[in-house]
Amino acid sequence: KETFTCWWKPGEDGGLPTNYTLTYHKEGETTTHECPDYITSGPNSCYFNKKHTSIWTMYIITINATNKMGSSSSDPRYVDVTYSRQ
């Protein structure tokens, strides 16, 4: 429960190079943060180490895709690190 990883499967990109980012905020907070580590868990993932993990806290996570055609965002995913095994 001290670390966790989120991963996503990219959608159709129309053959264009697409940049994906993960943004999140914790329930009750207004500040949005970007993924702290896109490297450790491999492609299309975000790793949260001990410094970025809070148990008993709901994370609201969104994936954002941007390319020359524009940008779009996923529906927010609500994740409780304490109970989540998705």
Q: Is 50 helix (H, G, I), strand (E, B) or coil?
A: helix
The count of structural domains within the chain is: 1
Place of tokens 């129309």: 14
Is residue 45 included in any domain, yes or no? Answer: yes
Distance CA(47)–CA(69), nearest Å, equals: 28
By the 10 Å C-beta count (0-12 exposed, 13-18 middle, 19+ buried), 2 is classed as exposed
Is residue 73 included in any domain, yes or no? Answer: yes
Q: What local confidence, expressed as pLDDT, does residue 3 receive? A: 87
The structure's pTM equals 0.85
Is residue 86 included in any domain, yes or no? Answer: no
Q: What local confidence, expressed as pLDDT, does residue 35 receive? A: 96
Residue 30: which CATH number? 2.60.40.10
Q: What local confidence, expressed as pLDDT, does residue 1 receive? A: 62
Is residue 66 included in any domain, yes or no? Answer: yes
Is residue 21 included in any domain, yes or no? Answer: yes
Is residue 40 included in any domain, yes or no? Answer: yes
Q: What local confidence, expressed as pLDDT, does residue 2 receive? A: 81
pLDDT in tens, 27-84: 999 999 999 999 999 999 999 998 888 778 889 999 999 999 899 999 999 988 776 5
Q: What local confidence, expressed as pLDDT, does residue 55 receive? A: 76
The residue segments making up the domain with residue 45 are 4-81
